[in-house]
Amino acid sequence: MKILVFGKSGQVATELQRRGHVVAIGRAQADFSQTDTCLAALETHGPDAVINAVAYTAVDKAEDDEALATRINGETPGLLAAGCARRGVPFVHISTDYVFSGSGSMPWRENDPVAPQNAYGRSKVAGERAVIRAGGAHAILRTSWVFSAQGNNFVRTMLRLSESRDTLNVVEDQIGGPTPAAAIADACLTIAGALLTSPEKSGTYHFSGHPETSWKGFAEQIFSAIGKEIDVRGIPSEAYPAPATRPANSRLDCALIRKVFGINRPDWRVGLDEVLAELV
């Protein structure tokens, strides 16, 4: 099976390449702000399945650049999905908990109404809808709080800040499931393979780490795991203002992906230990 991965340097794309048996292409070969380059790459490589690991993820910057975010997260994935549909090629697309309002405390289910609270979330909703409209075999994989040893993520930020501070203020009223990029990569590969033989399994699925925690709890686990004494002080979201609103409730109900594909939620603490072993 030849799997074409759009994305090369991002967290999930990097983990997909580590697993081998994929062809990964970056912006030089397929620029998501230039749709024609992406369609040309699809034609050139002729894959059996496609995984889209490209996204505009600068959440705050998207507030002032929503048009570009929507092109990268919405329009181009939709056109790629349509190209895959014409070729009978399964398309796996990574999305986010930011498509929801973030209200309440119950885990979000796949069929709950979307109500994004920022430009990034709106751009990802546009992508989901475009992929579905394409009509081919597809899976939309919503995930949350992605971390790895590469790229910009919470784990690397906490480690960097702890080099010069012994006290950190971290938001404690946002709750979610940190998710190792490695686990997302494995899930994408499993789903892509399943869709080749069972296209009827197409749909939207949730996948995040367990147990749920706050950003404060996540930070405390990071420092505990490396034996570093940092005073982590919890603060409310309003004490850390940002251009884009973050969801307070990022919990995801992941029962469906287990039922359909046999994919279990990863324990993010185990994934964290593996990432820290690589970083520290």
Residues carrying an active site annotation: 120
**Dist. CA 10–CA 152, nearest whole Å:** 9
Cα separation, 221 vs 105, whole angstroms: 22
Report d(CA 25, CA 39) in Å as an integer.
12
Contact present, 191 and 258 (Cβ < 8 Å)? no
Dihedral angle over CA of 143, 221, 255, 183, nearest 10:
50
52, containing H or E segment: strand 49-52
Contact (Cβ atoms closer than 8 angstroms) between residue 111 and residue 160: no
The Cα–Cα gap between 252 and 1 comes to 31
Distance CA 137, CA 90 (A): 5
User: What is the radius of gyration, based on Cα positions, of the chain?
Assistant: 18
d(CA 175, CA 103): 11
Contact 178, 5 (CB under 8 A): no
Cα distances from 42 to residues 47, 78, 86, 189, 240, in angstroms, run 7, 13, 11, 18, 42
- Residue 171: strand pairing partners: 235
